[in-house]
Amino acid sequence: MIFNHEKAKILLKFLHLPLTFSPKPPATLSQTLQWTLERYYNLPLYGKKINIANNTNNTLNSKSEHTISEHSSKANDDHQLNNNNIIYNEFNNYEWKSYEEIYCQAQEFQIYLEENCSVEVGDLVLICCPTSEEWVIADLACAMAGLVSIPVDPMLGVLKIKQICELTKPKAILCLDSTLFDGVKLDCSVNIVKIGPLQKRSNFDSKLIANLSEKEDETYLFTLQPTSGSTGNVKLTKRTRSNWLKREGNRETILLINSLSSPSSRSWLWTNLMQGGKVAESSLETLISDSQIVHPTQVSSTPIVWDHISSVVRKGTIKPTASLDGTISWMNTLFGPKCRAVTNTGAGLSQSTRELMTSLFGSAFGDGYGSSETGGIAINGKLLPGVQIKLVDVPEMGYYSTDIPYPRGELYVKTSTMFDGYLNDEKTYQGKYQEWFPTGDIIQLLSPDEIQVIDRKSFTMKLKNGKFVSSTSIENSLKSSKLLQVIVIVEQYSGKVISVVVPNWDLFKVFLKEKGVEGLSKSEMCSSEKCRNEVLKELKRIQLSEGCNPDEILRGVLIKENLFSVEDGSLNPSLKISKLELVSKFSKEFQELNSNNVAENENDSIEKYLKILKDIFGHEVSMGNHWTELGTNSITVTMIANKLNSTFDSQISSSQIYRSITVENLAFELFNNTNATHHIEERTLLLQDIQSVLPQTDGTNRAVPPAPPQTVFMTGSSGFLGAYILDNLTKLGVKVICLIRSSPEKFYSRMEYYGISPNKNLIELVKGDISKPLFGLSVIEFNNIREKTHSIIHSASNVNWLLPYSALRHTNTLPVKTIMLLSNSNIPIHYISSIACAEPGSCETLIPDIPHDPASMGYGTSKWASEYLLSRYSKQDQGSVVIYRPGHLVPTSVDQVVGLNENDFVSVLISGCIKAKAFPPYSGAVEWTSVGTTASLIVQSVMKQKGPLPSEFNIFSPLSTNYEDLYQAILLEGYELKKCNKDEWNNILKQKDNPLNSVSFLLVDGLKGTNLSKRFTSSNIKYLERDLSWPAISIQNIRNWISHLQRIKLIPPPK
């Protein structure tokens, strides 16, 4: 049978299969266009939204078009579309054009340009068109004709488009609306051509492309791509036709959300087009509903889209759906069943949006980083293949490649997709940037292949005092704010740092209600001086907690009602914020803004404040110091409070110092006459945390871990209880992977301090941080740990009864979500909680309602929230979770006392009674529990082999200890102490300079203990391999504790 090319083409077209005649990839762009058409001519390329209700059709040629059903039912399986017959908006379907139709119309337009505009190969042509079918046809026509296209968005504005025309002097301007330039005088002779309507050519003439291909060489330009111009200086980057061919990718189905004048969107379109993929129109408002019709395989867009998705999810507008196997999938819910990856491009995300996207999509979400000049550089901080980098010192900003622990500096890069220079820049064109391109971004190098952008070299502002501050650095310091969607820092007129913000309105209203502001409309809230002042105070509080220096502190804030947009000039067409436009747009409001919320002499006050601390501690103190780092105890705290109150006429209390956490936070409270711990919306934070989206499993089927486990991953192994658990595990021959923050030397020094010697051969130390995503590990490191781990013990937490929930959530609550991610519904989780979260009088169930005072009951609230999240996880993903609630852990050795620290409840109680020379009029049992016995019980549970475990254990000694023993021990140590009545005791608790004030919520109603159910704990022991031996706590034990507190200088020796 004779089977020639033409017969094969007819047969394959009948079977609706792509042609595959090219034996090797084409060498030029012209050949690529011809090759693409031959392979994919019958497949759908462009989907245009249609209005079925009105039966309207505004396409280029209504006679030649086919509906979605004609193409999708005949295309390959990976191109089929699933119309769920759901009407989401007035445009509820798509009309598709094939490669053949789009190519023929592009060639028709090419011929029109050549015949009517006298364009020739190499001429410049400006495409000024919104994202549409016409834009794709015009760009393709320019490529076929060998013209150099200059893509711009009409929203850029006539004046800027005119500026680009004057720089490039194009032969023609291609647009949909020819009236756009009416009345605009251009300095160059240019043809203004309206795209369409055009008739589809009956046949595609491949000779036209072949003629160009014969002449095409490496110097032929493909495009002059304008940069974003977010800093006010638009440049035109050159790309040759051979450079444009370097793009690599897979065949995808994509939605066009952003302007095709954006380098990333246009590059993505062409990469997909040359692989036989298809594209469809969409918009920010209709993205989710469009996805249910088109079923994209990837979604890529700028932060404004992800902020919108974040708002939709948080409001509960859309609920997640389950896939066929019952798994909850946000990817399927939002973007359809075929979507594999979603990517942020163009600019950085806020912390809250990034966290939510990661929790919704897991590893399928990528935060992209790159530039118009270099193409992609990194995803989620990890360098892309083929990217080379180096750091260059920036002395004027204090960044050096020798910085510790992470080298910092301006990022220079080499990539495989580097641009070919700037227009009218001969040095660049001769190859200046072919070696290394300076990005202008300041990064810190986390590892050889991982970077983090921390600043921007060009966004440095000079203040009136002659000092420089970075607006990017300030914006990054404020990303933790949940009240605001957008924060932009500008400096204008007075040389002060000013912020323009857009609130997260749901949380913002709750925030203002707590401040006594209700019943205002959005516009009234934006103009209210009280609202501005409250926002300013909150942002300043965050800045101080992040360690910003005084010059970076905000002096004013402008609240705007809506997200920035291209229409109002605050966003450029690439959806990046234009700061110069903001300054111009809001100049009058900046002038009228009362930005004197901070006194001019505040810097002098801060210097005086730091001098007081230096005198007390005997060395220099910086604003970034934590009180715990400075070795603060009850004596120094009292000295600080007394000195500050006498110097600044303030009313700072000892507990306020403890709860402020850092020197900066206390400075804010001192100079703004407010208590930061009450300023924080504790309850709002708690609600947000416990209702947050849980991590999704990756769907991988793994073998059931062996029992008993051979390898355990553990956090908190250097803590009091954790060290004893680690020691017990290694004695049983279990390998333990320990997550640590400090060095190995400090870790093993801590073991010696506790008097234990775990088997080092069975310990693998991994440096990380529980408060960071993936514990600060790379994805590869995290997954390697998951593959090796058979059981997880999460013991790490900040055991501090003095701090509010807001100060503890990052270390005590949120890390359990990373633990869930590590477990992946397969590895058992053993969580070390506390009786602090249990309901007084029972402790057999969690507190049924949300803790009523997260500020005062911070530690217990943080543990309660963790248990709540783990309970949700266990029900949602059927993960195995066992919770242990120890009582107040104490050492029981008579010879040596270690482990107690100044913030333990026992320590605070002893030091408070000694300082007050008083003891409460109560008696009763105490939930003091032997740390050694507790560790032994937990390890037995972890190692259990037979049958299911109870889901929770309440661990405390059945041998009661009475508070009377504590009273006698303090007396025997020689301290003056007397029992007082209830009124006297409550007055002592109100004294702000007494440590007991910080835990008064535990003591005001009496020291009666929580009356935990001993039956509940005892009955659970039967599930373990052996019984436990509970040592009694004697008066001598308590005396040893007191001696230890003297050694660590928490209490003075008796007189």
Token pair for residue 370?
């790159």
Handedness of CA 356, 358, 364, 365 (dihedral sign): positive
Handedness of CA 841, 845, 846, 848 (dihedral sign): negative
Token pair for residue 69?
């059903």
- Centroid of chain to Cα 314: 15
The most confident of 53-62, 72-81, 123-132, 1003-1012, by mean pLDDT: 123-132
Strands 829-832 and 881-886 turn out to be parallel
Across residues 749-754, what is the average pLDDT? 85
Say which range, 87-91, 208-212, 709-713, 844-848, has the weakest mean pLDDT: 87-91
Beta strands in 515-668 (DSSP E): 556-559
Does the pLDDT value for residue 158 go beyond 90?
Answer: no
Angle at 80 between CA 76 and CA 83, to 5 degrees: 165
CB 637 within 8 A of CB 613: no
Closest Cα partner for 882 from 810, 811, 943, 929? Answer: 943
pLDDT of residue 597: 41
Amino acid in position 516: G
Q: How many CA atoms lie within 13 Å of 170's alpha carbon, on the beta-carbon side?
A: 26
Q: What is the pLDDT of residues 538-569, one digit of tens each?
A: 888 777 666 566 667 777 788 888 766 666 65
Return d(Cα 500, Cα 486) in angstroms, integer. 8
Closest Cα partner for 1025 from 556, 623, 747, 708? Answer: 708
Domains of the chain: 5-83 (no CATH), 247-372 (3.40.50.980), 382-452 (2.30.38.10), 460-592 (3.30.300.30), 613-679 (1.10.1200.10), 709-900+927-962+1005-1047 (3.40.50.720)
pLDDT of residue 820: 92
The DSSP-derived string for 916-940 is HTEE-S---EE-EEEHHHHHHHHHH
Say which range, 70-79, 434-443, 533-542, 736-745, has the weakest mean pLDDT: 70-79
The DSSP-derived string for 762-818 is GEEEEE--TTSGGGG--HHHHHHHHHH-SEEEE------TTS-HHHHHHHHTTHHHH
Handedness of CA 310, 311, 313, 318 (dihedral sign): negative
Token pair for residue 832?
């070390």
Say which range, 41-55, 389-403, 480-494, 622-636, has the weakest mean pLDDT: 480-494
Token pair for residue 597?
């919320």
* Backbone dihedral angles phi then psi of residue 268, each to the nearest 5 degrees: -65, -40
Closest Cα partner for 344 from 302, 291, 299? Answer: 302
pTM of the full predicted structure?
Answer: 0.50
Q: Which residues pair with 175 in a beta bridge?
A: 128, 194
Token pair for residue 289?
């509903």
Does the pLDDT value for residue 235 go beyond 60?
Answer: yes
492 three-class SS: strand
pLDDT of residue 88: 34
pLDDT of residue 323: 60
Return d(Cα 670, Cα 648) in angstroms, integer. 8
Give the residue with greater pLDDT, 849 vs 206: 206
Does the pLDDT value for residue 59 go beyond 50?
Answer: no
Confidence of residue 234 (pLDDT cuts 50, 70, 90): low
CB 579 within 8 A of CB 488: yes
Ramachandran sector of residue 91 (left: φ over 0; alpha: ψ -120 to 50; beta: rest): beta
249 three-class SS: coil
Handedness of CA 172, 177, 182, 185 (dihedral sign): negative
CB 916 within 8 A of CB 849: no
Confidence of residue 736 (pLDDT cuts 50, 70, 90): very high
The number of beta carbons lying within 10 Å of the beta carbon of residue 217 is 9
CB 133 within 8 A of CB 46: yes
Closest Cα partner for 362 from 707, 2, 817, 794? Answer: 817
Say which range, 21-30, 466-475, 911-920, has the weakest mean pLDDT: 21-30
Ramachandran sector of residue 1030 (left: φ over 0; alpha: ψ -120 to 50; beta: rest): beta
Strands 341-344 and 298-301 turn out to be parallel
pLDDT of residue 578: 58
Return d(Cα 557, Cα 529) in angstroms, integer. 10
Burial 674-683 (b: 16+ CB within 10 A, else e): ebbbebbbbb
Q: What is the pLDDT of residues 853-907, one digit of tens each?
A: 565 677 888 888 898 899 888 887 677 899 888 877 888 765 555 666 666 677 7
Beta strands in 966-1010 (DSSP E): 978-979
Cα–Cα distance list, 455 to 333, 393, 459, 756, 772 (Å): 36, 13, 8, 45, 20
Return d(Cα 380, Cα 256) in angstroms, integer. 23
Confidence of residue 764 (pLDDT cuts 50, 70, 90): very high
Closest Cα partner for 680 from 856, 479, 473? Answer: 856
Return d(Cα 800, Cα 998) in angstroms, integer. 11
Q: What is the pLDDT of residues 596-654, one digit of tens each?
A: 443 344 556 777 888 899 888 888 888 767 776 787 776 777 788 888 888 887 777 76
Beta strands in 214-264 (DSSP E): 221-226, 236-240, 253-256
Confidence of residue 767 (pLDDT cuts 50, 70, 90): very high
Does the pLDDT value for residue 791 go beyond 70?
Answer: yes
Q: What is the pLDDT of residues 314-364, one digit of tens each?
A: 777 787 776 656 667 888 888 888 898 898 887 777 777 888 888 888 888
45 three-class SS: strand
Give every CB contact of residue 735 below 8 A, 6+ residues apart in sequence.
710, 711, 712, 762, 763, 764
Confidence of residue 735 (pLDDT cuts 50, 70, 90): very high
Angle at 98 between CA 96 and CA 101, to 5 degrees: 110
Across residues 694-716, what is the average pLDDT? 79
Return d(Cα 275, Cα 262) in angstroms, integer. 20
CB 113 within 8 A of CB 208: no
Tokens 């690529």 appear where?
32
Give every CB contact of residue 459 below 8 A, 6+ residues apart in sequence.
231, 470, 471, 472, 579
On average, the pLDDT of the chain sits at 75
The DSSP-derived string for 531-575 is HHHHHHHHHHHHHHHTT--GGGS--EEEE-SS---TTTTSB-TTS
pLDDT of residue 537: 82
pLDDT of residue 370: 86
* Backbone dihedral angles phi then psi of residue 72, each to the nearest 5 degrees: -65, -35
Token pair for residue 797?
């937490």
Burial 320-331 (b: 16+ CB within 10 A, else e): beeeeeeebbbb
Return d(Cα 271, Cα 221) in angstroms, integer. 18
Cα Dmax for the chain: 113
Does the pLDDT value for residue 86 go beyond 50?
Answer: no
The number of beta carbons lying within 10 Å of the beta carbon of residue 596 is 11
pLDDT of residue 333: 87
* Backbone dihedral angles phi then psi of residue 488, each to the nearest 5 degrees: -125, 130
Give the residue with greater pLDDT, 575 vs 1009: 575
